[in-house]
A and B are shown apart, each in its own frame.
Chain A
């Protein structure tokens, strides 16, 4: 029974990792860009929510909703004024620019908020739990997982049911031909990064409510996100959720055996999948 509990906790933790990963997956799917500052942007989002909660006394959920348009604008501007300039066949410039951005963000947060760890207070919600079939499940992990499901269903709807989603896919296939359809690829990329930042805000909300955070933890979140994306298969959103769950389960099982092995077990699960299925579990048919 203890194992069932451990695995369930792992699955729910996977929801958090899927939230970290969904924005990365979206951006990579559309413009083949890996944003090395993704984890730091999540941390930035958490500080923004914390700031709003502290200054205005809003509930964290409302604060996150308020933060979303700001984060969208940040992503849109970042893409439009910086990242679009370095997109191209050479992968080095976007990697190095986002790497530089990661360092700048970490140190700007350090300067602004100090190295002290913080937490977004969610009141009684953070300790509440419900019992299902004899297993106690935290309300917060359940909410996180539910949000991950909603995000992924929402993104799928956006991609396959809307005109903007068609434009995303067309631009991803062939930006030049897309421009013949009246699509401005630079604008599409900026919107995509903006939307990714909205998901980042949701990820930031749960990151901040569930655990302590400080300016230095971004890169580790990027790694979990990255592992989830690769395990799932590039460009597959449901695959990303599956990838998050695999990392989550590996971590909780690893931690149950030896607390020092938690992170290591997640990485090892990633390497095993990479060894057995180099293209991930659910690779897209068209690459």
Chain B
């Protein structure tokens, strides 16, 4: 069976600086995987590569068996891979509702997610629908960013550091939405620095260090030591 999304020997560089060294990753239909690792491990680069913000070798990334590595971001999105970018990146000139609406701009396939269902998922957004996106609290902004990505009814949802800079109680609130998102049929790749949170939501975990995958497995099968080594390096 072909994987829903797959990277094979994916490399990425910014000018002279190489950020990814041959990353192999598989996401199956209906699965949620987490990518953990410290700052600079290459997690965000990997997300940006998959989303098409960075151009890659055409064979580096496959979606339903099709090589898509060289496609630009707008085409990747139209295929059904949506991203919640690091730092939320709401559009300051758009209201909350407009931020949500624009999420479906390039892909209007219909499906479970619509303004109504997103407001149902995050009721606080409905109250603030006509505020500018940037007038909201950090947690609410993150909800808008997630809702915006859901509006296109993606097959794959990429979540980059959605708990970054948020209070633990708010992170818990946001992660409460994950089961609903999974039920709607989206497969997910969640990038996290918070290992505990990642372990809690993911079917499988990939650990990255210095642009490489250093460990992969089911959360229950991985020991603390193995993760620690994969996260910070084995030499101590």
Contacts and interface: CB of A to CB of B under 8 A. Distances in A.
Interface stretch (A85-93, A113-121, A176-184, A236-244): A176-184
Contact of A169 (B73, B91, B103): B91
A183 B92 CA distance: 17
Nearest to B145: A177
B92 A182 contact: no
B83 A167 contact: no
A177 B82 CA distance: 11
Contacts of A166: 94, 98, 101-102, 105
B103 A177 contact: no
Interface residues of A, number: 18
Contact of A179 (B53, B91, B94, B132): B53
Given A163-B105, A180-B83, A182-B107, A170 B94 contact: yes
A55 interface: no
Contacts of B98: 166, 169
Contacts of A177: 85, 89, 91
A183 B107 CA distance: 10
Interface of A: 163, 166-167, 169-170, 172-174, 176-184, 286
Given A166-B105, A179-B53, A180-B53, A174 B77 contact: no
Contacts of A174: 89, 91
Given A166-B98, A176-B53, A177-B85, A182 B91 contact: no
Interface string B138-154: 00000000001000100
Given A163-B105, A176-B53, A181 B93 contact: no
Given A181-B74, A286-B92, 20 more contacts: A163-B105, A166-B101, A167-B102, A169-B93, A169-B98, A174-B89, A177-B91, A178-B91, A178-B102, A179-B53, A179-B73, A179-B77, A180-B51, A180-B85, A181-B77, A181-B102, A181-B105, A182-B78, A183-B105, A184-B74
Interface in B32-72: 51-53, 72
Interface of B: 51-53, 72-74, 77-78, 82-83, 85, 89, 91-94, 98, 101-103, 105-107, 132, 134, 148, 152
A170 B83 contact: no
B88 to A, nearest CB: 9
Most A C-beta atoms less than 10 A away, residue of B74, B101, B103: B74
B72 A179 contact: yes
A287 to B, nearest CB: 10
Contacts of A180: 51, 53, 73, 77, 82-83, 85
Contacts of B52: 179
A179 B93 contact: no
Most B C-beta atoms less than 10 A away, residue of A166, A167, A182: A182
Contacts of B103: 181
A179 B92 CA distance: 16
A174 B93 CA distance: 10
A148 B53 CA distance: 40
B95 to A, nearest CB: 10
A194 B98 CA distance: 24
Contacts of A178: 91, 102
A182 B85 CA distance: 14
